[in-house]
Structure formats: structure tokens, C-alpha cells
Chains A and B, each alone.
Chain A
């Protein structure tokens, strides 16, 4: 248990824009005692939602498959060579722009789950994202997101940065009863009131009048507390550690800021970052092109994040990608792919049984495909999500609480 006042006293000492011997303050922070009550060693789950539905078969493609070659001749990557796949196991290779992910795979920290998706046969982005984010395929009335429920199931007392979405509006995944922050860019999440933020805090602390007053008082206090914990100088002056170089883009910026939150020890337990643009109906490309650009950004962002964390923080962090569905096995009339079913997801962490492609990817003969067109969903996304969340975050309660109405098997990746 911790009190807000104790936290402020502690955090006030170490977070504001000064540096000690050239090291940004938040880095020195970890050498200091963690703020009272914030459990420094708590595990952290970082999630990336790839909106638009990633073509899992281009990300991780079978090395040699005649049927596949016939169905998507314009999208096929050669099994080797400079512009070819990087072999993962005897059957699959990763897209050449995913070389950084391939390295993590070979180190045994990265697992691939293929043929994963929703049991609800649905090819609408909107429905499928919704089902995946609420964690209740086929049920639209679910109000809370599965990550919000996960935070609740940790049983930990709330703190300002416990659950953070690096998005300008709250994603469905983190919506719900448990308070969470949605901040598009931490550099902007500031009233920069410095010592003056106490004024705003007391302005809100004294809000009165029924439930509404209580709510305003509670959230206001949290908000201005949160802005005092980090200052934008800290955010901007951040130097990634261990030689990590983040690529440009919103995804990388989000992950970089998540890394900062982790190192600042502000009590982060669940983070959510978005990657957009995976709806590659047109000109998907192969080793170069739209998909390659997106996948390279994804791969390099994740790798930079991991490197930036360094061995100590890596112990506590597991990262997982999600995407609402896969894409058609065959290429369409404009060198792209249309909405499909199964895709693949990546899981990274020291407690991940990595270096392995999980899931069941069968033949690509037309009659083996779902509706004669798509990679069938052979793994319910909940078997992965519940595995990762329950085991990594050490949640109390069974999968039935995290995913109401579901009691499927855990995948055993973590």
C-alpha cells in the first residue's frame, strides 16, 4: 500500500528536468528507491495493435509451397537470398525486413503464433477489432476491453501510469472500469505546471457535490499528479540506452515513450500502442513496397524497444502484437489482398518459449482453406492472450474472468 503524498514526496526529488552527471534524471531514478508503494519489480505487458489486418502470410511465409505460389505469384517471397525470406524453422521464413525480429527469434525470445484469429467468422475490420479488443467474439454488448479487465485482475491498487494507451483516444482494449490513461504523445501530456500543479491538484481536490464532484476530485487529483511525475523535458531529452535506435513513426515513438515510462518506475503494468495502415488492398509489394515498409517499421521498432530496455527491464517485460484478422491467400486484382481470416502474431519476452512457430498452418490447396480462400483460424486468439496475460502478469482468477464465457486451452507460449 502506498499513499499519494508519500509518492509525491519521493517522485518530487528525482523527476524534474535536471540531470546528474549528464544522465537524464529518470535514468538515475531507478538507482534510487522506487516511489513508496510502487512495486518496482512488477511484470509489464506491452501490446501493439496492428489495425487494418496484417497479411500474416507475408510476414511469416512458408518457404516452399506450390499452392501458395500459385495463389499469390505476385506476392511471393523467395525462400532465400537478399530479397528472400529469413528462415525460422524448416517450414517458415520471416519477411526480409523483419531481420531484427528474426534475430530475437534465434535468441529464443520471440515466438510466432500462426493461423491465429477469432472463432467468429467475420471479415469486417470494425467487428473483428471490436471482438478482439473486448475479448468476446460474437458479443457486442461487452463494455470493457480485455486489457482493462487484465489490469483489474492484477488486484493492484491503481496508480496514474498503471495502464497507458499511447493513442489519442482510449482504445476499446483498455476501456472499462479501471482507470487508464490515453495519451497520444507524452510530450503533449503536460500542463507543465511544475510546482504549480499543486494548485490544480488542490483545485480539484476540493471539488464537491455528490458523485460527480467525487469523480472530478478523484480524476483531477490523479491527472495533475501524473503530469508532475514526468516533465516534457524528460520526454524530449530522452536518450535510448544500449545503442538502441528507434525508427521514425508513431509506433516507434509510442514504444520509446513506453520504455521511458518503464524506466521511470511510475508503476506501468499494461501498455497499448497502435500501428496503422495494414489494410493492403492495393500494391502490397514484396521485399519492397507498402507491406515491407510497415513490417520493417514494426520489426525495427520492437527491436529498438527491446534493446533500449536492456537485460534488467527485459526480465519484466513481455510484448505481444495483435491484428484483427489475416488476408486472403490469393492476391487480388490490384496486387493486394482482401480481408481474410487467420493471421500471425508475435510474442517477445524472456519468459516466452521463443524460437518456435506455434499454431497449425495446414495445406494451401483451395479445399483446405477457409471458405476456399483464407488461412483457417486454427488458434483462438484468446488462447494466446490469456496465456500471456495470466502467466506474465500473474493474474488472479481464471481465464473465465478475463474472457467471459470462454474456457479454452492456454497456448503455452509463456
Chain B
């Protein structure tokens, strides 16, 4: 599919010189930097391996997804939802309100919520009927992400999947979008993560997760719209028994499409453009197997000729579409173009120079530094435009830019919580016991609610976002919990030997002389280890920020309750101390 475009860029002549020439780096340091940015961190010996393979070759292999990924694929078999189509997933994992309704239909009485009996009755019903809950789907969603990040050999694809998911953010705090997020990432983001921007834009626009999260699924032409000549729509408006679902535009997606996904807030559009974009996108909605399915069935039956359906439950319903003329950013849209005018709109937005500039800046911030210089951004914007928005071309351009290898870039980014936890596990050569991994809880405690960023902006890609006093404490606790084998579902072999050697293996290619002084002082402070052992594991329940479903990690007996005496060893071994302090130290927070 996207491979053709990709192949074009990869066939460009190889570089005679190293891209980091003039940056005063040896090949080992350069490989370490490369891995710290385009992967979730090096594994033991990987820096040497990349040096040996050649940095160019490693990158090409990553861009072409050529690495043998059988180990990761094997681990992912622990998550059955990953191989289900949307419909099966929808029918298999059931949300709490629906379970409650099923229980009530089956005669279960709910009348005493205060005593907790209602919840017990509900849980009993779930067990009796052997139901799978939406919570289980979420658990798999979170676990598969850390599993991929830790294990996949195609690291760049995973990094780019995270990048684009965050750009086209949807949140599990949205009750309606939640069940579709696994498919959104699997079917929309990952397959396009190294592809072209227009493909990604179109795929996100049509996926239920986005349609529901930003409400375009509920947006329809106003019944009074002069151009709504369609008989069916008027019928629907008049017949609508469901009064809470008023007819009319919902501008939510239209605005974010321009503000966040493409042009940017200073992208030159007006409120009028927002409304016009919303009109263009009326009728872009989804077929629901779950909610309002019967109503949708009736509509589909009544207007079989007019409906166009696509992948992942997307449908275009012409009788909800405002078919009049529109004017957007100076471009006129003639009447009656149906689905095609939305496609045309996305073409326009994807090709706009504002979009190129915005995406270029995001790439530069993600891969170079928090405040990239304007010249680098402008250069990347040109690459974006000339490559039709190819992510692979953008990655290559960054790899070839002096800014990427400059002193301003080296170690300049702070690892976000996912990067921090995963890079810790990877550098120690750790293993996950899927599907029981506790890593997602730790990531959340450090302030990154995976798939749970409430605003459509995604998480800001800035150091300040991740380094607050509260979250640093969790990083230190994680470091010692991991080193002493107390992060459930993860096992790490600890490096042995002298401190200098271990530090060099945990932080390859870093200037460590200065960093090691306080590390040594800490290691020599026996009081420190007497007291640090009581660092607490996070409790079982993970509250999510925006009122979303709570996640529980399956508990097998004890071990998750905050029981400090039981949860930390009375004495750390020497290698636990070394690993704990090294993963805690400020240098390891950087990439």
C-alpha cells in the first residue's frame, strides 16, 4: 500500500559521509543517540550492534519494517482482542451500563447501592453468564502497548504510532469512543504510522473512535437547512422520537480537524470556515452494532441506494448531509458532491502550507528538542510538502539534519513515563509476564494516562509536562521496585560488576564522569537504603483523570495492596542498589 511511496525515498542515494559528521561524536555515541530517539531505548548490546550494522542500515530496516518480529508477535497472542474485528470486539466486551441492563432484564434486583450489594450482584452476574467486560478490553489495550514497546524489533513504527496517536488523540475517558480505541490504533494509526499524512488523516476522520470522540457521528444538517432537500432527512427530523438527539450541526470535529490535526490555531481559518467544514462533513458517521442499531438498520433499509459504507463501520448517510454549496478558506464547494466533497476538503487541508509547518514543528519537537530552531522546522516543512507528507521521509530528513546531532539536541529530551519505564525494562534486558504486566499502572502514576489524555490536543511534548515533583517520586519508586523484582509482571536480570561498567551499560554513550559522583555518594549512604526499601507499590485501583472507567489489573491474591513491609526487601542486594540508583538518577531520565 504505502510501500511504493516509501520505496521511492529509500532508494535515494546512500550517504557517503556519516550524517553526524562535524558533530564531534563517535559512532558509538551516535548510535546511542539514534536509538534513544527512534526507539524505546536500547537493549543490552544493541548500541554496538547498530554500530556494526551501520546507522543508515538500521534506519532503513526500521523504515521498511524488515526486522524479524516473531517474539513480539508471540507475546501479543496473550491479547485475543487484537485479532478480533470490530463487530466481534463489540459483541464480546460489554460495558457496565449494558451489563446492568442485561442483569435487570434477567431479573437481578438493584436497589441497595449503599451496601455494595449491587456491585456484588453485578459481578456475580458477570461470572454466572461468563461475560467479558469492556474493562478487560481496556486492560488488553494498555498491556499490548507496553508489550509492543518493550519487545517489538520494529521500534520506529511503534514510536511513530505513539506520535500519530497523540497527534490524532482520542481518549478512553470518552464513554462512547472507548470501545473503539483498540481498533483505532490497530487499524488506522499503526498501518499508516510511516505512511503519508493524507492517508492517516482520512483514516482517522472515518473511524468510530474519532467520529464519537469529537462528535461528528452526531452531526447532521440542520432540519431548516435550505439545501436539505432530501425527503428522508425531513422525515427523520419529524419522526425523531429521540428528542435528546437534536438535529443540527456539531462543530466539534470540524474545529479540531483544522486547529489540531492540520492547520493549527493560527492557520488562517475563521468561525465561518469551521461551520462550513462541519456542513461538508455532515453525514460522515458510523454504523453501530451496539447503540441505536435498530434505528440505524431502519434508515439503511429505507435508503439503500444512497448509503456509502467503508471500512471500520464508517458510513456516509446522504440524507443527513447538507448538500448545499460551501466556501472554505476561499475554495468553493459546489452543491451535491456528497462524500467526495469531504475527501476534497481533506486534500486541501493536508496540502496547506500551514499544515506542513505544523507537522514539521511537531516532528522536530519530538525528535530533536523542545524548542527547535526555525530553519530546521522550515526545512522539514519543505520535506513534508515535497514528499506528500511522508512520515518516512520526515524521519530520514531528521536523521540527515545537523540539528538532530547537535549539542542542543543530545540528551535534551526528557523521557515521558512510558519511555522511562519501557527503556528501563529494555536496557536491563527484562521480560514481561504477559498479560499480567503492571507497567501501565506505573506509567499512569507518573502522569501519563495511556489512551486517557482527555483533551484532543494529546499530551504536550515538553519536558515540563513529565517532570513534576510528584511524578519524579514515582520514578524513583519505580526504579527500586523494578530493581528488586517488585513490579509485578516484569522480571529483570540485573547487571553485575563494577559501578562504572554497569553505568556505562545502562546509559550507553553518555558522559558519566560527573553524573557518577552523586551516584557513588548515594550508594555509600547506608541510611538511604534502610529507609528507601519501604517505597510503596501503587495500589490496585487506578483512578483515571477524566471520569473514565477505572482499570483494575487482575489480582491474584495479595501483593498489590500497599503493604510496605511486605512489598520491599529488608535489604537490597548490591546489584539492586546499583540498578535502582542508576535508573533513578537524572541522567537516565533524559534521552
Using CB atoms and an 8 Å cutoff, list the residues of chain A in contact with chain B: 51-52, 124-127, 129-130, 140-141, 143, 160, 167-172, 177, 179-185, 187-200, 202-213, 215-217, 219-220, 222-224, 226-227, 232, 250, 274, 276, 279, 281-283, 285, 288-290, 293, 328, 332, 338, 371, 373
In the complex, B436 has a CB within 8 A of chain A = no
Q: Which residues of B are found within 8 Å of A183, using beta-carbon distances?
A: 470
Interface flags for B559-590 (1: CB within 8 Å of A; 0: not) read 00010100000000000000001001111011
Q: Which residues of B are found within 8 Å of A160, using beta-carbon distances?
A: 469
Cβ of B539 and Cβ of A182 under 8 Å apart? no
Query: In the docked arrangement, what's the CA distance between A379 and B527, Å?
Result: 57
Cβ of B547 and Cβ of A180 under 8 Å apart? no
Q: Which residues of A are found within 8 Å of B531, using beta-carbon distances?
A: 192-197
Query: In the docked arrangement, what's the CA distance between A276 and B547, Å?
Result: 6
In the complex, B349 has a CB within 8 A of chain A = no
Cβ of A169 and Cβ of B265 under 8 Å apart? no
Query: In the docked arrangement, what's the CA distance between A85 and B472, Å?
Result: 48
Cβ of B469 and Cβ of A125 under 8 Å apart? no
Q: Which residues of B are found within 8 Å of A198, using beta-carbon distances?
A: 525
Q: Which residue of A126, A179, A216, A373 contacts B171 across the interface (Cβ within 8 Å)?
A: A126
Additional pairs, 9, CB under 8 Å, beyond known A140-B259, A209-B411, A212-B413: A126-B171, A182-B471, A190-B534, A191-B477, A192-B531, A192-B532, A194-B527, A203-B518, A222-B469
CB nearest neighbor in A for B526: A196
Q: Which residues of A are found within 8 Å of B408, using beta-carbon distances?
A: 210
Cβ of A124 and Cβ of B252 under 8 Å apart? yes
Cβ of B252 and Cβ of A338 under 8 Å apart? no
Query: In the docked arrangement, what's the CA distance between A217 and B586, Å?
Result: 8
Q: Would you list the 6 A-B pairs with minimal beta carbon distance, nearest first?
A: A196-B528, A207-B586, A223-B469, A194-B531, A51-B547, A199-B522
Cβ of A181 and Cβ of B528 under 8 Å apart? no
A63 → chain B closest CB, angstroms = 26
Contacts A140-B456, A216-B589, A282-B100; A191 near B476 (Cβ below 8 A): yes
Count A/B pairs, Cβ under 8 Å.
207
Query: In the docked arrangement, what's the CA distance between A208 and B587, Å?
Result: 8
Q: Which residue of B464, B522, B528, B538 contacts A215 across the interface (Cβ within 8 Å)?
A: B464
Q: Which residues of B are found within 8 Å of A219, using beta-carbon distances?
A: 467-469, 472
CB nearest neighbor in A for B177: A126
In the complex, B238 has a CB within 8 A of chain A = no
Query: In the docked arrangement, what's the CA distance between A283 and B112, Å?
Result: 11
Query: In the docked arrangement, what's the CA distance between A290 and B118, Å?
Result: 11
In the complex, B390 has a CB within 8 A of chain A = no
Cβ of B445 and Cβ of A184 under 8 Å apart? yes
Cβ of B518 and Cβ of A206 under 8 Å apart? yes
Cβ of B532 and Cβ of A196 under 8 Å apart? yes
Query: In the docked arrangement, what's the CA distance between A125 and B178, Å?
Result: 14
28 contacts between A and B (CB under 8 A): A125-B547, A126-B171, A129-B547, A160-B469, A169-B452, A179-B469, A183-B470, A184-B445, A184-B543, A189-B473, A191-B477, A192-B534, A192-B536, A193-B532, A195-B531, A196-B530, A199-B518, A199-B521, A202-B521, A203-B522, A203-B584, A206-B515, A208-B515, A212-B463, A219-B467, A223-B472, A224-B473, A332-B244
Q: Which residues of A are found within 8 Å of B97, using beta-carbon distances?
A: 281-282
Cβ of A215 and Cβ of B473 under 8 Å apart? no
Q: Which residues of A are found within 8 Å of B467, using beta-carbon distances?
A: 215-216, 219
In the complex, B45 has a CB within 8 A of chain A = no
Query: In the docked arrangement, what's the CA distance between A191 and B256, Å?
Result: 41
Cβ of A203 and Cβ of B586 under 8 Å apart? yes
Contacts A191-B477, A208-B514, A289-B113; A199 near B468 (Cβ below 8 A): no
Cβ of A179 and Cβ of B449 under 8 Å apart? no
Q: Which residues of A are found within 8 Å of B585, using beta-carbon distances?
A: 203
Q: Which residues of A are found within 8 Å of B244, using beta-carbon distances?
A: 328, 332, 338, 373
In the complex, B493 has a CB within 8 A of chain A = no
Contacts A204-B586, A216-B467; A195 near B110 (Cβ below 8 A): no
B412 → chain A closest CB, angstroms = 5
Cβ of B454 and Cβ of A172 under 8 Å apart? yes
In the complex, B162 has a CB within 8 A of chain A = no
Q: Which residues of A are found within 8 Å of B114, using beta-carbon distances?
A: 288, 293
Query: In the docked arrangement, what's the CA distance between A393 and B367, Å?
Result: 41
Query: In the docked arrangement, what's the CA distance between A124 and B177, Å?
Result: 13
Q: Which residues of B are found within 8 Å of A205, using beta-carbon distances?
A: 518
Cβ of B265 and Cβ of A141 under 8 Å apart? yes
Q: Which residues of A are found within 8 Å of B463, using beta-carbon distances?
A: 211-212, 215
Using CB atoms and an 8 Å cutoff, list the residues of chain B in contact with chain A: 97, 100, 110, 113-114, 171, 173-174, 215, 243-244, 246, 252, 255-256, 259, 265, 370, 408, 411-414, 444-445, 447-449, 452, 454-457, 460, 463-464, 467-473, 476-477, 514-515, 517-519, 521-522, 525, 527-532, 534-536, 538-539, 542-547, 562, 564, 581, 584-587, 589-590
Q: Which residues of B are found within 8 Å of A203, using beta-carbon distances?
A: 518-519, 521-522, 581, 584-586
Cβ of A52 and Cβ of B259 under 8 Å apart? no
A126, A140, A195 interface centre (most CB from chain B within 10 Å): A126
Q: Which residue of B447, B530, B536, B587 contacts A169 across the interface (Cβ within 8 Å)?
A: B447
Query: In the docked arrangement, what's the CA distance between A94 and B272, Å?
Result: 44
CB nearest neighbor in B for A371: B246
Q: Which residues of A are found within 8 Å of B515, using beta-carbon distances?
A: 206, 208
Cβ of B470 and Cβ of A51 under 8 Å apart? no
Q: Which residues of B are found within 8 Å of A126, using beta-carbon distances?
A: 171, 173-174, 454-455, 546
Cβ of B535 and Cβ of A192 under 8 Å apart? yes
Q: Which residues of A are found within 8 Å of B471, using beta-carbon distances?
A: 182
Query: In the docked arrangement, what's the CA distance between A171 and B473, Å?
Result: 18
CB nearest neighbor in A for B542: A168
Query: In the docked arrangement, what's the CA distance between A179 and B411, Å?
Result: 23
Cβ of B412 and Cβ of A210 under 8 Å apart? yes
A200, A290, A373 interface centre (most CB from chain B within 10 Å): A200
B47 → chain A closest CB, angstroms = 20
Q: Which residues of A are found within 8 Å of B476, using beta-carbon distances?
A: 191, 200
Q: Which residues of B are found within 8 Å of A191, using beta-carbon distances?
A: 473, 476-477, 532, 535
Cβ of A172 and Cβ of B444 under 8 Å apart? no
Q: Which residues of A are found within 8 Å of B469, using beta-carbon distances?
A: 160, 179, 181, 219-220, 222-223, 226
Query: In the docked arrangement, what's the CA distance between A214 and B92, Å?
Result: 50
Q: Which residue of A192, A206, A224 contacts B564 across the interface (Cβ within 8 Å)?
A: A192
Query: In the docked arrangement, what's the CA distance between A158 and B522, Å?
Result: 27
Q: Which residues of B are found within 8 Å of A197, using beta-carbon distances?
A: 528, 531
Q: Which residues of A are found within 8 Å of B547, using beta-carbon distances?
A: 51-52, 125, 129, 276, 279
Cβ of B535 and Cβ of A190 under 8 Å apart? yes
Cβ of B470 and Cβ of A223 under 8 Å apart? yes
Query: In the docked arrangement, what's the CA distance between A215 and B539, Å?
Result: 29
Cβ of B546 and Cβ of A283 under 8 Å apart? no
A197 → chain B closest CB, angstroms = 8
Q: Which residues of B are found within 8 Å of A290, using beta-carbon distances?
A: 113
Q: Which residues of A are found within 8 Å of B171, using beta-carbon distances?
A: 126
A177 → chain B closest CB, angstroms = 8
Query: In the docked arrangement, what's the CA distance between A289 and B564, Å?
Result: 37
Query: In the docked arrangement, what's the CA distance between A167 and B529, Å?
Result: 28
Q: Which residues of B are found within 8 Å of A216, using beta-carbon distances?
A: 414, 467, 586, 589-590
CB nearest neighbor in B for A203: B518
Q: Which residues of A are found within 8 Å of B529, using beta-carbon distances?
A: 196
Contacts A51-B547, A140-B456, A184-B445; A202 near B518 (Cβ below 8 A): yes
Cβ of A293 and Cβ of B259 under 8 Å apart? no
Contacts A196-B528, A200-B584, A282-B97; A212 near B590 (Cβ below 8 A): yes
B392 → chain A closest CB, angstroms = 28
Query: In the docked arrangement, what's the CA distance between A18 and B429, Å?
Result: 43
Cβ of A188 and Cβ of B562 under 8 Å apart? yes
Query: In the docked arrangement, what's the CA distance between A101 and B449, Å?
Result: 34
A51, A52, A217 interface centre (most CB from chain B within 10 Å): A51
Contacts A168-B542, A203-B522, A212-B590; A190 near B411 (Cβ below 8 A): no
Cβ of A227 and Cβ of B522 under 8 Å apart? no
B388 → chain A closest CB, angstroms = 28
Cβ of A212 and Cβ of B412 under 8 Å apart? yes
Cβ of B113 and Cβ of A196 under 8 Å apart? no
Q: Which residue of A169, A215, A222, A285 contacts B414 across the interface (Cβ within 8 Å)?
A: A215
